[in-house]
């Protein structure tokens, strides 16, 4: 008897064998009951699989097509929103840079103006700026007034924050704004890095 053709039976059953391989398998099947029985099992398996019912309770073709159309519209709207968000996200660093530049300009102009006023430069115009409204209590004064009973640490903080102190109101505000901008930029960098990692996976 020729060699068993177990490995080729599936391909023979599926009509995937060509040429002399078909004759080889058929010649073997004519004399081997074991391989013949295996082929019969494959045929029976195909029949059993084919007899199992298809999906039941399906929606009509018209409804199915309409539902696909609805999903496409939804996806299209979502994709437009997504694109707008994506552009906004990409431009965020530019916005932060703009905010930083704007704040620096404001603090620079304010600083120069105050210095000029302090030095008595700028004549009537800067003097007018100072006298236009009666000066109210400064932040440091307000804190001093309300912090009569404060402890030593608070006194030190108040000393640093007073208008003429090393950490005047303008400097403190500038530093706070820089901290917020740095925090936002750091978050943007972290999200950019996370997106990049996700794409690489």
Q: Are 38 and 6 in contact (CB under 8 A)?
A: yes
Cβ of residue 14: shortest distance to another protein, in angstroms? Answer: 7
Question: Distance between CA 32 and CA 69 in Å, rounded?
Answer: 56
Stretch that binds another protein, among 5-13, 97-105, 106-114, 142-150 (CB under 8 A): 5-13
Question: Distance between CA 179 and CA 80 in Å, rounded?
Answer: 34
15-74: contacts with another protein (CB under 8 A): 16, 41-42, 44-59, 61, 64-65, 67-69, 71-72
The binding track of 75-114 with respect to another protein, each residue x by CB under 8 A or -, is x---------------------------------------
The DSSP annotation for 36-87 comes to HHHHHHHHHHHHHHHHS----SPPPHHHHHHHHHHHHHHHHHHHHHHHHHHH
- The answer to whether residue 14 forms part of the interface with another protein (CB under 8 A) is yes
Structure tokens at 10: 């599936």
Residues lying near another protein in the complex (CB under 8 A) are found at 7, 10-11, 14, 16, 41-42, 44-59, 61, 64-65, 67-69, 71-72, 75
């Amino acid at each position: 008897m020729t060699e068993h053709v177990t490995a080729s039976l599936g391909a023979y059953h599926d009509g995937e064998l060509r040429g002399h391989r078909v004759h080889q398998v058929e010649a073997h099947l004519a004399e081997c009951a074991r391989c013949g029985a295996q082929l019969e099992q494959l045929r029976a398996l195909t029949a059993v699989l084919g007899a199992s019912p298809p999906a039941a309770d399906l929606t009509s073709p018209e409804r199915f097509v309409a539902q696909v159309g609805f999903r496409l519209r939804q996806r299209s709207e979502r994709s437009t929103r997504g694109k707008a968000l994506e552009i906004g996200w990409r431009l965020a660093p530019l916005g932060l840079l703009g905010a930083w530049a704007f704040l620096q300009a404001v603090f620079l102009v304010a600083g120069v103006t105050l210095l000029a006023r302090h030095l008595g430069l700028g004549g009537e115009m800067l003097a007018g700026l100072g006298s236009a409204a009666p000066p109210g209590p400064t932040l440091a004064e307000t804190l001093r007034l309300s912090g009569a009973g404060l402890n030593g640490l608070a006194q030190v903080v108040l000393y640093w924050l007073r208008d003429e102190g090393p950490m005047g109101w303008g400097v403190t505000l500038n530093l706070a704004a820089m901290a917020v901008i740095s925090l936002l930029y750091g978050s943007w960098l972290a999200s950019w890095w996370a997106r990049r990692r996700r794409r690489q996976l």
